[in-house]
Structure 1
Amino acid sequence: MTQASAAPKATRRQHDREIVALAVPAFGALVAEPLFVMADSAIVGHLGTAQLAGLGIASALLTTAVSVFVFLAYATTAAVARRVGAGDLQAAIRQGMDGIWLALLLGAAVIAVFVPTAPSIVELFGASHTAAPYAITYLQISALGIPAMLVVLAATGVLRGLQDTRTPLYVAVAGFVANGILNAALVYGADLGIAGSAWGTVIAQFGMAAAYLVVVVRGARRHGASLRPDAAGIRASAQAGAPLLVRTLSLRAILMIATAVAARLGDANIAAHQIILSLWSLLAFALDAIAIAGQAIIGRYLGAGDRDGARQACRRMVEWGIAVGVVLGVLVVLARPLFLPLFTGDSTVKDAALPALVIVALSQPICGVVFVLDGVLMGAGDGPYLAWAMVVTLAVFTPAALLVPVLGGGLTAVWAAMTLMMAVRMLTLWLRTRSGRWIVTGATR
């Protein structure tokens, strides 16, 4: 083996080690998050159908509200990683503190909206008269935990930018365990019903936020970074996050349109759609873990001024995305007979879901490329392009999805439109990475 051929292999091994070291703990933390809702559902479900229905409505509203602000994690990761690459840990942590202060301000604003308007919001979602009181109770109490949830997002971004995905995993697991214990104790032990579940989750969320703050504050003191709010820094964090907010809202709109179209196809199709969407979301966690590694690694390389390292890391992560996508696609095909009975015994629902699952399986390599390139461009701080690309994707997807009830094809056609959406995203992201315009070096973009 020549020295020239050995060098690229050594570089690939280095990238592989970095990707695995960041992606595996990130995947664990991502999977732990939805377990909160599952634990709440399992405990509240034994109180009665009306309570579980109320929890379902309130959880959907809370999840949507928090997911809109996921840019707190993404933008913070990229900004902090750049500073780390530039060798300025003090500025990196200072940048992270600006994101945390922004999270607190946004959390307070969300509380001001959700608590007084909870009855109206629940009514707007068409809750039954039996489920509505429980939904309102859960929503008003759980909304108090939103500032903590947003702090967790921002602080997670800080640690990811510092190339640390293990601490978020440990905090997420501890939070899940505490949430389960508190829920059981307050719902049954203290006999607080659904309110006990809400309070248990709020306490667990504030505990997680406190754990993150302890880690970040220790780092700030160690490197002499100020903990005080800085108006200019907070404003800069908001400006960096605004394009990613547009991206997230466009993606949420796509998912809502797909669900609305599936609902028009009948009960069996919407039931099958919900099952497939839950699987699609689970698969996304695996691919998003690689994207998170991409955000941290690319940001660090660009901050250090290493253009070639950024390009090589991007190329290797794309290879990872394709490989993981192929594996996930094969698993979906093989697991179809076992997966569907876990959710339904209705043969009509199964018949609607089976061909659509094949489409989902075939699309996984595309999804792998999309998630990775999305993470690469986020790590590069290329938010404005990501916003524009997602708006274009929404414009292409909307007419394609709305034509499904007219042209036919059922749920399979809906998921074909979803695959088209991912293909458009892949094209726009590939064109950007190929152009090299995302490669902007330095401590700030």
Structure 2
Amino acid sequence: MALAADPVASLIDTIYIGRIGPVEIAAVGISIALFNQVSKVAIFPLVSITTSFVAEEETIEKINTKVIEAEEMKSGYIDKVSTKGEALEIVVGNSDDGLKEKGDQKESATPEDDPKTSSCEPTDITDHQNTNAPNVKIPKRNIPSASTALLFGLALGVLETLFFALLAKPLLSLSGVKPGSPMLKPAYHYLALRSLGAPAVLFSLAIQGVFRGFKDTKTPLYATVAGDVVNVILDPLLIFTCNLGVSGAAIAHVLSQYLISLIMLVKLIQQVNLLPLSIKSLQFSRFLRSGSLLLFRVIAATIPVTLAASLATRLGATTMAAFQICLQVWLTSSLLSDGLAVAGQAIIASSFAEKNYEKATAAATRVLQMGFVLGLGVTLLIGLGLQFGSGVFTKDINVKHIITMGVPFVAGTQTINSIAFIFDGVNFGAHDFAYSAYSMVEIPVLSILVSVASIGSLFGLNIVAGFVGIWFALSIFMGLRAITGVWRMGTGTGPWSFLRK
């Protein structure tokens, strides 16, 4: 639900902007595609490795804590037995001093020393339980990867803002919005304003990665819903009441993202000590090493979607408006299954840290089963909803006609998309603990091959079939992504090599 909340807000943005006209919705569509392309390249590797690293560190911390507690209980038991033994030696002495000492022992004995009232074992357990009582303040967790992730997220967000401030117009031109196009002005205004929220977007996603590692998905959900409710309230006020148009939609989205970041940061500070003990404790090299490997995969996975939006833009404002509506529905529904992927990733990462391969296999199997069922359900929902409900997004007859041409692809690929996304989470959860270059590199290489094949089909099918050709190529792309995901676990290679045993 947390992962779907932001796309749902974007979907509502699309509904409001669709009321302005097809040119504006087409302009916003290409701007969102560019913004998402850069944001995903910047943050997706960071979020993925953060979830796994935090899950690993928390699991190891819990194991170490249990070991220390067990040793302390054992040490306390031995000390008490030793003390009682010494007292016994004195008591059984033959001298009067021994008898006197016995009396002294009785006078100074505490309740726990009296075998009639207590024994050393229950006392130790009671003391240990008291330390976990509700009135005892639980210390903050020291998770170095959390601090590292937040620093990376903030830095990448600032860089993204500067990137769009300098290159917004050239990027729009490269995407098919040429000088003189009616889409240029609204597209540029939306992209320039939306980029101001990049630090908040990337920072909040980094925090989400930390909470996912803790297996806490409620906090990100509450924060995201709160921010998106503000976005939905501000949209009509800024777009129509203040007459800001697409700029109002961008401003509403930016404000909501900063609110989401603030809420999650406050909650995280209450649980984690974000000030590192030293610079050396920050895991910059580990993040850069794993993140760079995932970067190739992310680039390969996002280029086809951005290219598809660019090709749709070249077909005209009406076609691009229909494509934007279909794409937002496609992404929003697909990300429902991505929530299962995140849950699977966190559980699998912890299981690998515990070397509990049976639990990892069970978690992977369960989320795949759930994803398959979810994909079938969403296929029916989208197929019926978009076929008869396109009027919610636009009143333009031509745009609605083109949308109906995309419905079979948007709805029909949902099960494939679900499997592809979930295998991403399954493989990411396993890769970060395998410490194998082969297992970390193979998927990016396969993804690049998939991307090349998809790009080729996009150009070819776009020329032959236009709008339908673009969606057919995107369907091929998601099918190939699903195959590469199945290949890792299905062949029992890399971190899944234990399955062959």
Shorter-chain TM-score category? 0.7 to 0.9
CA positional deviation for 1:163? 0.2
Q: Residue 152 of structure 2 aligns with which residue? A: 102
**2:371–2:418: 8 Å Cα contact kept in structure 1?**
yes
TM-score w.r.t. structure 2 length? 0.69
Q: Pick which of 276-285 and 30-39 moved more.
A: 30-39
Could you tell me how far apart the structure 1 residues matched to 2:383 and 2:27 are?
A: 34
CA positional deviation for 1:404? 2.1
Q: Residue 319 of structure 1 aligns with which residue? A: 369
Could you tell me how far apart the structure 2 residues matched to 1:141 and 1:348 are?
A: 30
Q: Residue 6 of structure 2 aligns with which residue? A: 33
Q: Residue 83 of structure 1 aligns with which residue? A: 57
**2:26–2:321: 8 Å Cα contact kept in structure 1?**
no
What amino acid is the match of 1:64?
Answer: Q
CA positional deviation for 1:150? 0.9
Give 3-state SS (helix, strand or coil) of 1:305's partner. coil
**2:154–2:203: 8 Å Cα contact kept in structure 1?**
yes
CA 1:411–1:172 in 2, change beyond 3 Å: closer, same or farther?
A: same
Task: Please list every run of 5 or more consecutive structure 2 residues that lacks an aligned counterpart in the other structure.
Answer: 66-139, 433-438
Q: Cα deviation per residue 1:117-150 (whole Å; 9 max; x = unaligned)? A: 4455556543657765665555444433321211
**2:29–2:320: 8 Å Cα contact kept in structure 1?**
no
**1:97–1:227: 8 Å Cα contact kept in structure 2?**
no
**1:78–1:295: 8 Å Cα contact kept in structure 2?**
yes
**2:58–2:143: 8 Å Cα contact kept in structure 1?**
no
CA 1:363–1:199 in 2, change beyond 3 Å: closer, same or farther?
A: closer
**2:488 counterpart of 1:432:** yes
Q: Aligned to 1:394, which of 432, 451, 454? A: 451
**1:58–1:139: 8 Å Cα contact kept in structure 2?**
yes
TM-score w.r.t. structure 1 length? 0.77
**1:37–1:59: 8 Å Cα contact kept in structure 2?**
no
Q: Residue 271 of structure 2 aligns with which residue? A: 219
Q: Pick which of 277-286 and 369-378 moved more.
A: 277-286
**2:421 counterpart of 1:371:** yes
**2:230 counterpart of 1:174:** no
Could you tell me how far apart the structure 2 residues matched to 1:339 and 1:113 are?
A: 38
Could you tell me how far apart the structure 2 residues matched to 1:245 and 1:237 are?
A: 11
**1:217–1:227: 8 Å Cα contact kept in structure 2?**
no
**1:102–1:237: 8 Å Cα contact kept in structure 2?**
no
Q: Aligned to 2:259, which of 207, 210, 220? A: 207
**1:220–1:227: 8 Å Cα contact kept in structure 2?**
no
Q: Residue 211 of structure 2 aligns with which residue? A: 159
CA positional deviation for 1:386? 3.0
What amino acid is the match of 2:493?
Answer: R
Give 3-state SS (helix, strand or coil) of 2:283's partner. helix
Could you tell me how far apart the structure 1 residues matched to 2:252 and 2:316 are?
A: 37
Could you tell me how far apart the structure 2 residues matched to 1:336 and 1:39 are?
A: 14
Give 3-state SS (helix, strand or coil) of 1:317's partner. helix
CA 1:192–1:341 in 2, change beyond 3 Å: closer, same or farther?
A: closer
Q: Residue 258 of structure 1 aligns with which residue? A: 308
CA 1:314–1:40 in 2, change beyond 3 Å: closer, same or farther?
A: closer
Give 3-state SS (helix, strand or coil) of 2:495's partner. coil
Q: Pick which of 311-320 and 134-143 moved more.
A: 134-143
Q: Cα deviation per residue 1:209-261 (whole Å; 9 max; x = unaligned)? A: 2222222222223xx97376558512322322223222222122111343455
Q: Pick which of 374-383 and 272-281 moved more.
A: 272-281
Give 3-state SS (helix, strand or coil) of 1:126's partner. coil
CA 1:179–1:166 in 2, change beyond 3 Å: closer, same or farther?
A: same
Could you tell me how far apart the structure 2 residues matched to 1:194 and 1:340 are?
A: 20
CA positional deviation for 1:322? 1.3
CA positional deviation for 1:340? 3.6
**2:33–2:306: 8 Å Cα contact kept in structure 1?**
no
**1:76–1:154: 8 Å Cα contact kept in structure 2?**
yes
User: What is the correspondence of 1:43-442 to structure 2 with a 5 Å cutoff?
Assistant: 58-68=31-41, 69-88=43-62, 93-118=143-168, 120-121=170-171, 125-126=177-178, 128=180, 136=188, 138-180=190-232, 198-221=250-273, 226=276, 233-260=283-310, 272-343=322-393, 353-354=403-404, 356-380=406-430, 381=432, 383-405=440-462, 408=464, 411-439=467-495
CA 1:402–1:92 in 2, change beyond 3 Å: closer, same or farther?
A: farther
**2:341–2:425: 8 Å Cα contact kept in structure 1?**
yes
Give 3-state SS (helix, strand or coil) of 1:256's partner. helix
CA 1:418–1:212 in 2, change beyond 3 Å: closer, same or farther?
A: same
CA positional deviation for 1:320? 1.2
CA positional deviation for 1:102? 0.8
**2:147–2:282: 8 Å Cα contact kept in structure 1?**
no
Could you tell me how far apart the structure 1 residues matched to 2:183 and 2:314 are?
A: 24
Could you tell me how far apart the structure 2 residues matched to 1:155 and 1:188 are?
A: 33
Could you tell me how far apart the structure 2 residues matched to 1:201 and 1:84 are?
A: 33
Give 3-state SS (helix, strand or coil) of 2:216's partner. coil
Give 3-state SS (helix, strand or coil) of 1:70's partner. helix
Q: Residue 92 of structure 2 aligns with which residue? A: none
Corresponding residue pairs, total: 411
What amino acid is the match of 1:210?
Answer: L
Could you tell me how far apart the structure 2 residues matched to 1:337 and 1:182 are?
A: 29
RMSD, aligned CA: 3.8
Could you tell me how far apart the structure 2 residues matched to 1:141 and 1:264 are?
A: 24
CA positional deviation for 1:328? 1.9
Q: Residue 14 of structure 1 aligns with which residue? A: none
CA positional deviation for 1:165? 0.6
Could you tell me how far apart the structure 2 residues matched to 1:187 and 1:339 are?
A: 23
Q: Cα deviation per residue 1:20-75 (whole Å; 9 max; x = unaligned)? A: xxxxxxx2x22321344456667778899988777566544433332222222222
Give 3-state SS (helix, strand or coil) of 1:164's partner. coil
